[in-house]
Structure 1
Amino acid sequence: MSTLSELLAEHTRLSGDSADHLQRVVSEWQLLADLSFADFLLWVPVQDDDGGPALLCVAQARPTTANTAHTEDAVGTVAAEEEHPQLVRSMVTGRICREVDPLWHAGTPLRREAVPVRCGGEVVAVLGRDTNIAQLRVPSALETAYLGCAGDLCQMIADGSFPPAESTSDIHTSPRAGDGFIRLEPGGSVLYASPNAISAYHRMGLPTDLVGTDLAHVTRKLVTDPFDASEVVQRIRSALDGQPSLRFEADARGATVLVRALPLTPKGVPDGALVLVRDVTEVKRRDRALLSKDATIREIHHRVKNNLQTVAALLRLQARRTTNEEARSALAESVRRVSSIALVHDTLSMSVDEKVDLDDVVDRLVPMMTDVATLNSQVTVRREGRLGVMAAELATPLVMVLTELVQNALEHGFAPGGTGSVVIRAQRSARALDVVVHDDGRGLPADFTLDRVDRLGLQIVRTLVDAELRGTLEMRAAEGGGTDAVLGLPLGRRSR
């Protein structure tokens, strides 16, 4: 089955920021589905077979709190305007659109709603919110509280304020609505607490009910560690002030709970906060084993980084003792290549998901590459655009390729002692990452062809681009003088 990234890359031309925002929406929408008692379908604008506008379903979520509205897999289907008018209206108007009358779908009565997904001030997709109403019942206090929070979160999606742009690396380990649900009013008092949330607080040592209490104050008194208690209070109050926060863990009298506070600000108006609580006392033992494994992997990356830095230091020492200029240059290039790989492992040693922030790595490599190119000390190197985050197996060869292309521009694009600049220009979308390494130097030789180049650096680049990155590389004369090395890297479905 195609992933969301692959479907966006194959069928849309969304920007990288828009694709990242849709990924964040999908990472959060199980909470939305559970709070709404409804299925959620993500629709993106595409062109139909006749070249006209259409909407394609690229992801689907079903609630764990109610019967599904769609037993079939809807991913890959195209929405016709006559069958889904609310989706088209929401996409065009940028407002939440609800159908007045329910309809039947595959023998199931549905109530349908469309929520526009806004990113950067523009509607980039639509969420279909379909509720199975075959078994309508009088809403309980829990259901009323759930639906109220779901309505606020959907309005925030339409506003473009949810999910926030901050990291969501811990979403899949955060508490869910069924684990424990607390609704706070803007002042911080508890309006509603689910039975599971009350049970979690009872295990923490609370002898009374939660409703009507100040949650931050109550939690501060229960948490054992005073620093953790202050952190809990700060997270809850930040959510009430409209600031997003990630989950946090607290110990209280032998019990361990995960807590996550989400601000509710529909249409920019503070409406309290949603707090999710999960008692993880029993599963903590198993978590420790997993954390130990992750820590071991990070320690391995750390030691590999240290070993590579030691190798680079030995090569650098050997270069200083070498009188042959050609050998010294070769050793300097080896130092640069080993150091670039070491930086990737340094990043992985601090990562929990084997992901690499390429912008951070490249920014740390730029001074190193400039220092090695001693003959071109007047040439500046800088980055423009965003490379983004990439999996470790692709980050290492890509960093190597960029290092070699920049070094090639520094060594061969300028005369000794010359001045100029080398710019790494990146543009990332859902479909691809495009990078241009541009220099304003003397340009390519008249007889230059990439297929017959004998430079070791460019041979390394060609091998990595073809074998590891499955991308394309072109070197051409730049407009206004200089050289452009153009690298194209597909980000959709990759052949093994």
Structure 2
Amino acid sequence: MIYELCKIHTYLTDKDIEKLEDVAKDLPLISDLLQADIFIDCMAKDPNVAIVVAEAKPSNSPSMYQHSVVGEFAFRKNEPAALRTLEIGMPSRDLRAITQENKSVKQNVVPIKNDSGDVIGVLIAEIDITKSVNEKKNMELLSETTEKLTETLLTFIDNQNPIHYHITDGIVIFNSNGISTYVNPVAEKLYRKLGYIDDLVGIDFNNLVLDGRRFSEIKSQGFISSSELDVGELTLKVKYAVMKQRNIDVVGMIMVIRDISDVKAKEKELILKSVAIKEIHHRVKNNLQTIASLLRLQSRRIDNETAKVAFNESISRILSIAITHEILAQKGVDDVDIKTIFSRIKNSVIDYSMQRNNNVRIEIGGDNIHINSDKASSIALVVNELIQNSLQYAFTGRDEGVIEINIQRGSMYSNISIIDNGIGFDMKSARPGSLGFNIVKSIVKDKLQGQINIQSNSKGTKVMFDFKN
């Protein structure tokens, strides 16, 4: 098929076509190794068009193609990476393309050169970019390795190509008997770090394997396997790919070694920071609860009812902040879902502040929003103050009522509404100078960079404030 297509659509010689046919034998291996659709394209007689002469779909992951595209054309407007590399002979990485089936992909392209150094085709690895955002990170990691591994496999075919000196993965190739036949510079350097002093080419697999696997075991599996291991001060990720001829006979194996020591060190650092954050929030929560307990003990010694109310209000404010730190201590991160905070405030209010309003329900609804600890503490304090205010004044003379907390996410500002169905109040005769109201106004304006709005009538009161995301 390659020969016929090249003869019809290209100016390649028989020797060049033979070279492409040799490369095409390794396409299934490359496709499985990268878990990507792999193609060989050649420049057509039209300088703005390439022709697909060979393809391979991964056997260990879904292909993006419903049908074969061998024999179809690739146009410059749809696949600029392929045409660029065909023209200038330089690799192209992570360039967007539109497939023959009208799907968006990212292409990593490397040139295939003949013995004279002329570009006779390109090897293309394609990665789907229409997947969900949750898979974006995996796509980027795969994209990062696609070009390097593809270049490596081409290097095995054309040892005149110096690209293998710039690859960050260690590559070791073994023949069917388990004897190493190729070691790239990165693998050489890794093994030297591990104390190897012999020439690594010609060494048996059992003397080079790092994770205790057996050559016969990997050969019999017939698919790619990988493992992660610590060797000395290094953390390595090792992947194996069995090489087959005509998908039947095992002709060798490739071992790919990646040094992930820096990645693991950063992961450990993040874990330590997470532990430290949890401990800090835990201690702050304990200190706040201790202060609240001391105030509660002190309030019991006071006979003046006005002073007791002031003590209880202060205790409630302190506990609302403590709730935020308690949640953050459990999660070990510096942000939290605002609904979780409100649920805990609701429980706290039920435990400590609803003796006089046992039939008042508190309902929480709206969007889930994650906010940092500083903003969470401020919002918790405001919402707690507004709930306490409703409980104290809104249901005077009533046996039951409802307080609704509604959260609405916005693009730049989000807002929170506290709505009760109480008796309401006259806005003109309200106490604007009260401590609780001043606390709320100050926090919303100075800490949350928002505004507060109050509406009240005989059917109830609605207080809404917003905060910058």
Smaller-chain TM-score range? 0.5 to 0.7
1:351-390 alignment to 2 at 5 Å?
Answer: 351-371=331-351, 372-390=353-371
- Are residue 163 (structure 1) and residue 134 (structure 2) matched? yes
The 3 A distance-change label for structure 1 pair 377 and 180 is farther
Question: 1:485 offset after TM fit, Å?
Answer: 0.4
Aligned residues: 308
Query: Hey, what does 1:474 align to over in structure 2?
Result: 453
CA 1:446/1:463 → structure 2, altered by over 3 Å: closer, same or farther? closer
SS of the equivalent of 1:488 reads strand
User: Cα 1:419–1:481, aligned 2, differ >3 Å: closer, same or farther?
Assistant: same
Determine which of 77, 92, 95 is the counterpart of 1:102.
77
Aligned to 2:48: none
Letter in 2 for 1:406: I
- State the Cα RMSD in Å: 4.6
Residue 318 of structure 1 pairs with residue 298 of structure 2: yes
- With over 3 angstroms needed to count, the CA separation of the structure-2 counterparts of 1:180 and 1:416, relative to structure 1, is farther
128-137 or 362-371: bigger deviation: 128-137
**1:475 aligned partner, one-letter code:** I
In structure 2, what is the Cα distance between the partners aligned to 1:344 and 1:320?
26
Alignment-derived partner of residue 424 in structure 1: 405
What is aligned with 1:465? Answer: 444
- Structure 1 position 455 matched with structure 2 position 426: no
1:310–1:101: structure 2 CA closer, same or farther, 3 Å change rule? same
Query: Identity percentage over the alignment?
Result: 25
Change (3 A) 1:311 1:114: farther
Return 5+ residue gaps in structure 2 as ranges.
1-33, 38-72, 85-91, 113-118, 150-167, 173-186, 191-207, 239-255
Q: In structure 2, how many angstroms separate the alpha carbons of the residues matched to 1:383 and 1:464? A: 22
Measure the CA separation in 1 of the matches of 2:143 and 2:220.
20
- 2:316 partner SS: helix
> Distance between the aligned counterparts of 1:100 and 1:354, measured in 2?
49
Q: Unpaired segments of 5 or more residues in structure 1? A: 1-33, 38-97, 116-126, 184-193, 223-249, 260-275, 492-496
Of 328, 333, 336, the residue aligned with 2:313 is: 333
Is contact 1:382–1:423 with CA below 8 Å preserved after alignment? yes
Deviations 1:375-414 (A, max 9, x none): 2121111101124101222111111111111111111111
1:484 is matched with: 462
Partner Cα distance (1:197, 1:380) in 2: 66
> Are 1:180 and 1:195, in contact at CA under 8 Å, matched by a contact in 2?
no
Letter aligned with residue 315 of structure 1: L
Which whole-Å deviations, capped at 9, do the CAs of 1:433-468 have from their partners, x for residues lacking one? 12111000001225246xx61221111010000001
Do the aligned residues in 1 keep the contact of 2:278 with 2:333 (CA within 8 Å)?
A: no
Alpha carbons of 1:258 and 1:339: their partners in 2 closer, same or farther (altered >3 Å)?
Answer: farther
CA distance in 2, matches of 1:466, 1:331: 26
The offset of 1:347, in angstroms, is 2.5
Q: SS state of the match for residue 476, structure 1?
A: strand
Q: 1:333 to 1:374 in 2, by over 3 A?
A: same
What is aligned with 1:433?
414
Aligned amino acid, residue 462 of structure 1: K
Aligned partner of 1:312: which letter?
Answer: A
Of 211, 214, 220 in structure 2, the residue corresponding to residue 204 of structure 1 is 211
Residue 349 of structure 1 pairs with residue 356 of structure 2 = no
| Residue deviations 1:233-263 (CA, integer Å, cap 9, x gap) | xxxxxxxxxxxxxxxxx6567664679xxxx
Q: Deviation per CA, 1:301-321, whole angstroms, max 9, x where unpaired?
A: 211111111111212222233
Distance 2:221 2:259 in 1: 20
* Structure 1 residue identity aligned to 2:339: D
Kept in 2: contact 1:308–1:339 (CA 8 A): yes
| Corresponding position of 1:406 | 387
Distance 2:318 2:330 in 1: 19
3-state DSSP class of the match of 2:134?
A: coil
Per-residue Cα deviation, 1:70-112 (whole angstroms, up to 9, x for no partner) = xxxxxxxxxxxxxxxxxxxxxxxxxxxx99551899xx96986
Per the alignment, do residues 101 and 315 of structure 1 end up closer, same or farther by CA in structure 2, a change over 3 Å counting?
same
**Secondary structure at the residue paired with 1:443?**
coil
* Alpha-carbon contact 1:99-1:112 (below 8 Å) kept: no
Q: Distance in 1 between matches of 2:333 and 2:257?
A: 24
Contact map agreement 2:108 2:146 (CA 8 A) in 1: no
Give the drift of 1:281: 3.9
Q: Which amino acid in structure 2 is aligned with residue 297 of structure 1?
A: I
- Preserved CA contact (<8 Å) 1:358 1:387: yes
Shift of 1:294: 3.9
CA–CA separation in structure 1 for the residues paired with 2:106 and 2:144: 20
SS at match of 1:349: helix
User: How far apart are 1:179 and its partner, in Å?
Assistant: 6.0
Please state how far the C-alpha of 1:486 moved relative to its aligned partner.
Answer: 1.0
Q: Which range moved further: 292-301 or 131-140? A: 131-140
CA contact (8 A) 2:169 2:257 kept: no
**Secondary structure of 2:300's aligned partner:** helix
2-side partners of 1:101 and 1:321: how far apart? 85
Once residues 308 and 413 of structure 2 are traced to their aligned partners in structure 1, the CA distance between those partners, rounded to angstroms, is: 38
Compare relative contact order (CA 8 Å, sep 6+) and give the higher one, 1 or 2.
1
Which residue number corresponds to residue 444 of structure 1? Answer: 425
Q: AA paired with 1:361?
A: I
The CA distance in 2 between the partners of 1:206 and 1:130, in whole Å, is 35
Q: How far apart, in 1, do the equivalents of 2:289 and 2:436 lie?
A: 21
The one-letter code of the counterpart of 1:439 is: D
Distance of 1:305 and 1:285 partners within structure 2: 30
The equivalent residue for 2:243 is none
CA contact (8 A) 1:178 1:196 kept: no
2:221 alignment counterpart: 213
Letter in 1 for 2:383: L
Alignment of 1:136-147 (within 5 A): 138-140=121-123, 143-144=124-125, 147=126
